[in-house]
Amino acid sequence: MKKLIKVFAAASLLSISVASTAMAGTWKQDSEGWRWKEDDHTYAASAWKWIDSDKDGMAECYYFDGDGILLTDTMTPDGHTVNENGAWTDDGIVRLRAANPSTAVQMKKKGALLYQDADQKSSSLPGLDVNADITMDLYYDWLQIPVIMNMQMKYHDINTPNMEFLSSSIIKTLGMEKTESSFYTNGCYYSDSGDSEKFKMKIGYEDMTKHLTLGGLTGQFGAFLDNVQIAQDKEGNSVLFYSSETNGLEQYLNRFYDKVWPSLTDSDFKITGVNGKAVISPDGYFSKEEILISMIITEDEESMGLDMNVNLDYKNPGQAVTITFPSTDGYEEIVY
């Protein structure tokens, strides 16, 4: 159980089912509806299929039920929405995927540029107000353990004399709840572990900045983009859908945990799927991110599965961040 608890602290990432791509086939219609006939004369059934019907280089994704009938204007058994034409949609946006290598390369380049520009612009902001809702399901033998986390972070004027930040987190699992918070203001750092351990210490803003890990929420997977789609929503935001290449991601996670959670570097991570959605404001800042990752974690010949869903909400990016601090009473002063 100690190994499981150790993993709980590693809130970073989850999964989505992978649909096969139809390279060749034919639409067929009968009295029951539309079907997809493969070249081997079988019909797609109980499955998703990416199909480029109009041959424009981008395929739509369709779900066929157990009888091989295309589902339309409804919700699929795995919880996704399809429109009146049967195409998978996300918040009203038809999901697309490159149907040939040439289109895939072009979309990947465009997506990487859009993502990296948003990451650079968001990371350079003097202040940020981010809310992270994280749900996890951890599988260990016959045991399934759900974990719910909420992390909130506000900061402004990093590495200046006016620097302030406020960070808080709540973790709920197995009927237990753990709350932690920390903040920095007027040259003093305050920490409340939630276990009646509250301390404060005076520390200069330059030294405080060296110990911060306030970044790291934005732009986690820009180097791993693949299967990219770029769309526009009704509010004029750019919406970037992507899946991540898993090769090399394990090494990235180990480097990340080595800085943030060193105890996890003894574990072996195997990423089995990464999918993401980034909403970028008209001004070029991250507005929302959804990251879905599934992985297998092995340590001392014991393995466990982890499905994680991270939803990031960047509140009014580019605007001034105002922080309301909790009471500073009851903190024991220690020397830095």
Helix, strand, or coil (residue 65): coil
Q: What is the pLDDT of residue 269?
A: 73
- Mean pLDDT over 188-217 rounds to 82
Helix, strand, or coil (residue 142): coil
Q: What is the Cα–Cα distance from 271 to 210, expressed in whole angstroms?
A: 30
Q: What is the Cα–Cα distance from 229 to 239, expressed in whole angstroms?
A: 8
Exposed e or buried b for every residue in 138-167, given b needs 16+ CB within 10 A? Answer: bebeeeebebebebbbbbbebeeeebbbbb
How is residue 87 annotated by DSSP?
A: B
Q: Does an H or E element contain 115, and which? A: helix 101-123
Match 């480097």 to its residue by tokens.
255
Least confident of 10-19, 66-75, 138-147: 10-19
CA distances from 245 to 101, 240, 248 (A): 15, 16, 8
Match 């590693």 to its residue by tokens.
10
Most trustworthy range by pLDDT among 13-22, 124-133, 136-145 = 124-133
Q: For 15, phi and psi rounded to 5 degrees? A: -150, 160
Contact 241, 95 (CB under 8 A): yes
- Mean pLDDT over 170-177 rounds to 91
Q: What is the Cα–Cα distance from 94 to 86, expressed in whole angstroms?
A: 10
| Strand 188-192, strand 164-173: pairing | unpaired
**Predicted confidence band of residue 15 (pLDDT cuts 50, 70, 90):** very low
Is pLDDT above 60 for 217?
no
**Predicted confidence band of residue 1 (pLDDT cuts 50, 70, 90):** very low
- Mean pLDDT over 2-13 rounds to 33
Give me the percent of the chain exceeding a pLDDT of 90.
Answer: 59
Is pLDDT above 70 for 40?
yes
